[in-house]
Amino acid sequence: MDIEGYDVRADFFKPLLLRAIRRVAANDVELKMVADLLKRWDNQRSEGSVAATIFDAWFEAMQDIVFSDDLGDFGDKSLFRMAIQPSLLWYVLADKPPRRLSRDYLNGEDKDFVMVKALRTALERLRKERGEIAHWGFRKPLWRFDPLPPIPGPNRGAYIQLVEVTSPPRGFNILPPGQSEDPKSPHYSDQHPLALRWQFKVMELVVDDANEKFHATGFNP
């Protein structure tokens, strides 16, 4: 639940963006207001958070501005968003990047200017799509399992397994749509109530002469 709600990207990129605003747009009233929102933001993707929406829109604008001219959009914008991982953008923007890239994705432009340009692009997009800033509250995406009710917070795996390395080990897992992911299956909805409450089912440790392995009990595929 903590992982789903916390935007870890902000730990790395928010300080860079705030520094860029101070350096490039110190006299811009709107960007100073945005900087203040981001400073006070707790990095939680909370329902209704304006700062979370702005940061999300800025990050997408950065993906577009920095990479689309070199890589295109892969013919599918959602695939492009998934493929351009935060780590790649970090290699471009970090003061001391952990990896050296094969090309200059910024095309010789100053990093801070690019970040501020992306922020202005993001704000303009939000104005067009949502109007006044009062309507920019973050909307938590929904994970759909039609015909079942949606589950809020899809920023988690469809299958989650936790194993405590104790003696003997203990395991827990969850797979909301069932192994078959078939809505016609009688077990399609078995784990949905657990996933909705961020709960897991116990896995049983089976020991035989050949090996030790976990298997899930209580629900069939």
Reading the chain (221 residues) residue by residue, the pLDDT tens digits are: 777 789 999 999 999 999 999 999 989 999 999 999 999 999 999 989 999 999 999 999 999 999 999 888 888 888 898 889 999 999 999 988 887 888 999 999 999 999 999 999 999 999 999 999 999 999 988 888 888 888 877 677 778 899 999 988 999 999 988 888 899 998 999 999 998 888 999 998 887 766 656 555 544 44
Entry pTM: 0.79
Domain positions in the chain are 2-135, 142-216
Residue 126 CB neighbour total at 10 angstroms: 20
* Amino acid type, 2: D
Q: What per-residue confidence (pLDDT) applies to 1?
A: 73
Q: What per-residue confidence (pLDDT) applies to 209?
A: 61
Distance of alpha carbon 185 from the chain centroid: 30
Tell me the two tokens of residue 207: 């020991």
CA-to-CA distance for 56 and 11, rounded, in angstroms?
13
Q: Are 38 and 15 in contact (CB under 8 A)?
A: no
Which residues does 168 contact at the CB level (< 8 Å), separation at least 6?
205
Which residues does 181 contact at the CB level (< 8 Å), separation at least 6?
188
Q: Are 185 and 178 in contact (CB under 8 A)?
A: yes
Helix (H, G, I), strand (E, B) or coil at 42: coil
Question: For domain 2-135, is the CATH number 3.30.413.10?
Answer: no
Q: What per-residue confidence (pLDDT) applies to 16?
A: 97
